[in-house]
Structure 1
Amino acid sequence: MINRVRNVGYSDRTPFLSAAVSVGLRGEIDQIIDLQIEQWYETVPQAAHLEGKDVNSLYYKRHLIETAWRIRLLRVAEAKALVEIAKVSPVAAQIWAQYEQEEMLHDDLFIQDLERVGVNRQEFLATEPYLSTKLLTGFFSYLLDHEGPLGVVAYSYLVEYVNVKLEPRKLQALKVSVGEAMIVGQISHSHTDINDDHPGEVWSALRLLIKGEQDIAALKGYLAEHQRILAMYFSELYIDTLAKPQKTEA
């Protein structure tokens, strides 16, 4: 009889990328993301707003709300991704599971910071996520159903790389504009990303999901697509807050 069992991740356990080639590819991917960051600052409305001295209160609160919603919504798809990753590489699945364990409940860190600036949990729950967040969540589901888990993991690498590179600068600015005692949750989140080396952790899983040159090409495409959807969010945020006539808060 022929064994019909498939999708257990053991068909070929030799990584397509050797350790040395993986380091080289990661450097190339990081350069691509660096170029995307430059493009981001040039094209996204008020891209550096949270790094400035005069942070708009509505913008700041709405961004915290949306960040918490993105974590809540995406963790469902990211949990489903674990199943698909396990079919390709059990080792990558173990790494991904550890990463998700560290990130899974970080929505509460942002909700705690919201409460520090006067937005309670009821107000958070009453605020519907932006369309861009829904589209990102739907894109994850599409990827898992029709293309595989590589694009989902690629998103985490993009976000973690950018966070570790830019978040310390943003948090330093927020300490001045908002107050260090008001951003404790965000500091804790950043501390985990940096000290647990989340970019490295995600890359370790990503490397094992790359099975050929076609996956390398797909990875680069995913980075550009994720950037477009994230840019949609920041445009929505800008239109919903900074672009509106400003009211003086009591």
Structure 2
Amino acid sequence: MTKLDRSRLESLAEELMEKQFQRVTKLRELHAGEWTDRDYYIRHITETVLRIRLNNEVDTYALFKVGSKDDSLAAKLAQYLAEEFGHEGMFTRDLNKFGFTSEQLEATDVFPATKQLMGYLRLEADKRGPAPTTVWDWFVEWYSDRYNQIITNKAAEEFGTEFTQGTQTHLDFDESHDHDELMFRTVSQAVEGFGSAEQAYADLATYIELIGDYFQELYDSTVGARELASA
């Protein structure tokens, strides 16, 4: 069985993100630290909180699917889960600074692309165990290492550092715990035991396409809707 190649996985992620930059409104500027928008950013942090909750559920389900088949893999996934549980609270503090209440948060529905992504992860875990979920978790950490500090810096510049303190705390935590490295070790082991490298590359393509869909939905529901209303 072909082992997962880290350089290929990373280069594929770069290539697939470039496609999204070309098709999704303002996405390249956001990830280059050249643009942000208050409504857009608040809604993005809101989705981040809601997606973290859902992500913890699918990770827990993936851990259940490992069962007693691979104790070493289960331990890695459990470590990641233990370090991630409750982190949505860091982002919630930033939302509160913006005046976005917990009641508003609970009343917000996630975007269709997020529902599709989480549904895919749950259904594929039934068929292929933890491998698809660990590919997603690896991408989340790779993406965060590459882009989230840039996005956060721009938000701090535009809105003030007091509005990004929780987000920055999360970034600092991930860096100090080397989550990117932990998740690559985890995904490699999961793919070797429960899937294949080619399936992992295909999963990555699915995830990044859905992330692009999410960012377009985000733009359309905030900046786009505001522009239509004022036209």
Residue 224 of structure 2 corresponds to residue 243 of structure 1: yes
Alignment correspondent of 1:231: 212
CA distance in 2, matches of 1:104, 1:213: 25
Considering Cα pairs closer than 8 Å and 6+ residues apart, tell me whether 1 or 2 has the greater RCO: 2
Alignment correspondent of 2:136: 155
Residue 39 of structure 2 corresponds to residue 58 of structure 1: yes
CA distance in 2, matches of 1:214, 1:91: 16
Residues 202 and 52 (structure 1), Cα distance of their counterparts in 2 relative to 1, 3 Å cut:
closer
1:86/1:92 contact within 8 Å kept: no
Q: Show structure 2 runs of 5+ residues with no match.
A: none
User: Secondary structure of 2:26's match?
Assistant: coil
Residue 1 of structure 2 corresponds to residue 31 of structure 1: no
2:186 to 181, 185, 205: 205
Alignment correspondent of 1:45: 25
Alignment correspondent of 1:176: 157
* Deviation (angstroms), 1:53: 5.7
Alignment of structure 1 residues 189-204 onto 2, 5 Å = 189-204=170-185
Root-mean-square deviation (CA), in Å?
2.2
CA distance in 2, matches of 1:237, 1:211: 35
1:53/1:176 contact within 8 Å kept: no
TM-score (normalizing by structure 2): 0.91
What amino acid does structure 2 have at the position aligned with 1:27?
A: S
CA distance in 1, matches of 2:161, 2:226: 28
User: Secondary structure of 2:36's match?
Assistant: coil
CA distance in 2, matches of 1:211, 1:57: 43
CA deviations on 1:200-236 (whole Å, 9 max, x unpaired) are: 1011111112338960000100100001111111111
Residues 94 and 163 (structure 1), Cα distance of their counterparts in 2 relative to 1, 3 Å cut:
same
* Deviation (angstroms), 1:52: 4.5
* Deviation (angstroms), 1:50: 6.6
CA distance in 1, matches of 2:130, 2:192: 12
Residues 184 and 213 (structure 1), Cα distance of their counterparts in 2 relative to 1, 3 Å cut:
closer
2:36/2:154 contact within 8 Å kept: no
* Deviation (angstroms), 1:161: 0.5
User: Secondary structure of 1:142's match?
Assistant: helix
1:53/1:177 contact within 8 Å kept: no
* Deviation (angstroms), 1:160: 0.5
Alignment of structure 1 residues 42-121 onto 2, 5 Å = 42-47=22-27, 48-49=29-30, 52=33, 55-121=36-102
1:81/1:152 contact within 8 Å kept: yes
CA deviations on 1:125-167 (whole Å, 9 max, x unpaired) are: 1111111111111111111112221111000101101110112
Q: Show structure 1 runs of 5+ residues with no match.
A: 1-15
TM-score (normalizing by structure 1): 0.84
